[in-house]
Structure 1
Amino acid sequence: MNEIEKNLENLGITLDAGPEPMANYVSVQKAGDIWFFSGAGPFENGKPAVFGRLGENMTTEEGYDAARLAGINLLAILKRELGGDWNRLEQIIKIQGFVNSASDYFEQPAVINGVSDLLVEVLGDRGRHARTAVGANVLPFRIPLEVEMIIKVKY
């Protein structure tokens, strides 16, 4: 068993095939060895599983957990697109987090840490990345956050 699969097992994470696009877009746009992932949210079984706005009806800790779930979805899509071959992943380059926030909420980075921490726990140094964490007035389906990812793969 490879190290990434061991890390997932130790964390109690089972990756399914990951969510499919919900409209006219693709999950991943591949530009050579750089891949751009569409936004992923806290979904389970293909449906939004967490709803709310940070600083209004959700705490930072609840947001962190929702971001972790979004990160699990990104990892599931990544595994699918890699054909299960984690050795093809060279590096997570950047994640971009959009947090559905009340106007006086300023802890977006602490929320998006849920994804960042997960990526490093699972992928080690290949999971370290640049990052953006910003507030948004509203997100689709009333989800609390959405996260995009850019990676580099080996051919």
Structure 2
Amino acid sequence: MPTSISSRVIALGAHLPVASRPVANYLAHVRVGDLLFISGQVPLKEGRPAFVGTIGDALTVEDGMQAAELAALGVLAQLADATGDKLERIERVTRVGVFISCVAGFERQSVVADHASNLFVNVLGDKGRHARTAVGVASLPSGVAVEVDAIVQLRG
């Protein structure tokens, strides 16, 4: 079984992007004790914002699902960057936040967020099981449809 985050992603037929760098005055990830806080990641394709728009207006639920998976890949890229891409340094993903730009009255945030959650479990196995918040919002950075952040417990 592959022992790096990137090899697990590749085994699923996906590609782990290069960890993006902050575009303002914050850090991409911060470690406090055994917890790694990963800043919100947006869906990127070739380094550019993807799935720009609002779910329920310009974008479909299926677009939101793809956006959530891309943003979750960004979280995994940050996790790989912070751990030297070493799977054994991960104890578990403890909490995931999924923010979804959607029209008023949209109630399928959990359906969109499941694609991020599924990716974490598919890549990390039981270490990827987590508590989660899925929230509908009016807008997100760069106008994207989804943003995903995470808190991960690391081993010493």
TM-score by length of 1: 0.94
Q: Residues 19 and 45 of structure 1 are in contact (CA less than 8 Å); yes or no, is this contact kept in structure 2? A: no
Q: Secondary structure at the match of 1:23?
A: coil
Q: Residues 5 and 76 of structure 2 are in contact (CA less than 8 Å); yes or no, is this contact kept in structure 1? A: no
Q: CA deviation at 1:5?
A: 4.9
Q: CA deviation at 1:13?
A: 2.0
Corresponding residue of 1:7: 8
Corresponding residue of 1:76: 77
Q: Secondary structure at the match of 2:84?
A: coil
Q: Residues 96 and 148 of structure 2 are in contact (CA less than 8 Å); yes or no, is this contact kept in structure 1? A: yes
Within the alignment, does 1:38 sit opposite 2:61 as a pair? Answer: no
Q: Secondary structure at the match of 1:17?
A: coil
Corresponding residue of 1:119: 120
User: In the TM superposition, what whole-angstrom CA distance separates every residue of 1:27-69 from its partner, at most 9, and x where no partner exists?
Assistant: 1111110111110010133321221111111111110011000
Unaligned runs of 5+ in 2: none
Q: Secondary structure at the match of 2:30?
A: strand
Corresponding residue of 2:62: 61
TM-score by length of 2: 0.93
Q: CA deviation at 1:4?
A: 4.9
User: In the TM superposition, what whole-angstrom CA distance separates every residue of 1:116-142 from its partner, at most 9, and x where no partner exists?
Assistant: 000001100000000000100111111
Name the stretch that deviates more: 6-15 or 66-75. 6-15
Q: Which amino acid aligns with 2:121?
A: V
Counterpart-to-counterpart distance in 2, 1:147 and 1:60: 16
Report sequence identity in percent. 36
Q: CA deviation at 1:6?
A: 4.7
Counterpart-to-counterpart distance in 2, 1:99 and 1:109: 10
Q: Which amino acid aligns with 1:149?
A: A
User: In the TM superposition, what whole-angstrom CA distance separates every residue of 1:60-90 from its partner, at most 9, and x where no partner exists?
Assistant: 1110011000011111111011012110000
Q: Secondary structure at the match of 1:79?
A: helix
RMSD: 1.4
Name the stretch that deviates more: 15-24 or 145-154. 15-24
Provide the aligned length of Structure 1 versus Structure 2. Answer: 155
Within the alignment, does 1:95 sit opposite 2:96 as a pair? Answer: yes
